[in-house]
A and B are shown apart, each in its own frame.
Chain A
Amino acid sequence: MTAMTQRPNLSKHVNELLILARLRVGPAHGYEIALAVERDSNGAFSFQHGTLYPILHRLEQERLIRGSWEGEGRKRKTYQLTTKGEAYLKGEAREVKTLFLNLIRVLEGPAHALG
Chain B
Amino acid sequence: MPSAESVFRELNARLDLPARRRALLLRELRADFEDLVTTLVAEGLTPEAAQQKAFRLLTPSPDDAGALSGLHRTRYARLVSGYRAARVQVVERVSIGVMAALAVGAPLFALARSSGLPVGTLTVLGVAATFLLANLAWHAFRIVVRDDADADSLARAGMVQAALLGLTLSAGALSVFVDAALTLSSWEAGGGATTIQVAATMTRCAETTALTLGLTILGVFGALALLQWHLSARTVEEELRALLSPTFDPEEE
Q: Which residues of A contact B (CB under 8 A)?
A: 29-31, 34-35, 38, 46-54, 57-58, 61, 73-77
User: Which B residues are CB-close (under 8 A) to A61?
Assistant: 71
The 7 closest A-B pairs by CB, nearest first: A50-B60, A54-B67, A31-B36, A31-B32, A49-B61, A77-B28, A30-B32
User: Which A residues are CB-close (under 8 A) to B71?
Assistant: 54, 57-58, 61
* A49 in contact with B249 (CB, 8 Å): no
User: Which B residues are CB-close (under 8 A) to A31?
Assistant: 32-33, 35-36, 39, 54, 57-58
* A49 in contact with B68 (CB, 8 Å): no
- A49 CA / B62 CA spacing, docked (Å): 9
Of B28, B33, B35, B59, the contact of A49 (CB 8 Å cutoff): B59
**Given A53-B68, A57-B68, A29 and B60 touching (CB < 8 A)?**
no
* B58 in contact with A76 (CB, 8 Å): no
CB-based A-B contact count at 8 angstroms: 84
* A48 in contact with B33 (CB, 8 Å): no
* A30 in contact with B28 (CB, 8 Å): yes
**Given A54-B68, A57-B72, A61-B71, A75 and B60 touching (CB < 8 A)?**
no
CB distance from B187 to the nearest CB of A (A): 69
User: Main secondary structure on chain B at its contact with chain A?
Assistant: helix
The CB with the most chain B CB atoms within 10 A, among A52, A54, A76, A77, is that of: A54
Additional A-B contacts beyond A53-B25, A73-B252 (12; CB < 8 A): A31-B58, A38-B57, A49-B61, A50-B58, A50-B64, A51-B61, A54-B60, A54-B64, A54-B67, A57-B68, A73-B250, A74-B249
CB distance from B176 to the nearest CB of A (A): 53
- A54 CA / B61 CA spacing, docked (Å): 11
- A34 CA / B25 CA spacing, docked (Å): 17
User: Main secondary structure on chain A at its contact with chain B?
Assistant: helix
Of A35, A58, A73, the contact of B251 (CB 8 Å cutoff): A73
Give per-residue flags for B22-44: 1 if the beta carbon is below 8 A from chain A beta carbons, else 0: 00010111011101100100000
Residue B188 is within 8 A (CB to CB) of chain A in the complex: no
CB distance from B63 to the nearest CB of A (A): 9
- A72 CA / B248 CA spacing, docked (Å): 16
Q: Can you name the residue of chain B whose Cβ is closest to the Cβ of A74?
A: B250
Chain B residues 200-253 with CB under 8 Å of chain A are 249-253
Residue B84 is within 8 A (CB to CB) of chain A in the complex: no
CB distance from A67 to the nearest CB of B (A): 8
- A22 CA / B72 CA spacing, docked (Å): 24
Residue B56 is within 8 A (CB to CB) of chain A in the complex: yes
- A57 CA / B71 CA spacing, docked (Å): 7
9 A/B residue pairs, CB under 8 Å, sorted by A: A29-B32, A31-B39, A31-B58, A47-B57, A49-B56, A51-B60, A53-B58, A53-B68, A74-B27
Of B29, B57, B59, B65, the contact of A46 (CB 8 Å cutoff): B57
User: Which A residues are CB-close (under 8 A) to B29?
Assistant: 30, 50, 53
Q: Can you name the residue of chain A whose Cβ is closest to the Cβ of B70?
A: A54
Of A54, A73, A76, the contact of B35 (CB 8 Å cutoff): A76
- A51 CA / B56 CA spacing, docked (Å): 10
- A75 CA / B33 CA spacing, docked (Å): 13
Of A35, A50, A74, the contact of B59 (CB 8 Å cutoff): A50
- A52 CA / B25 CA spacing, docked (Å): 13
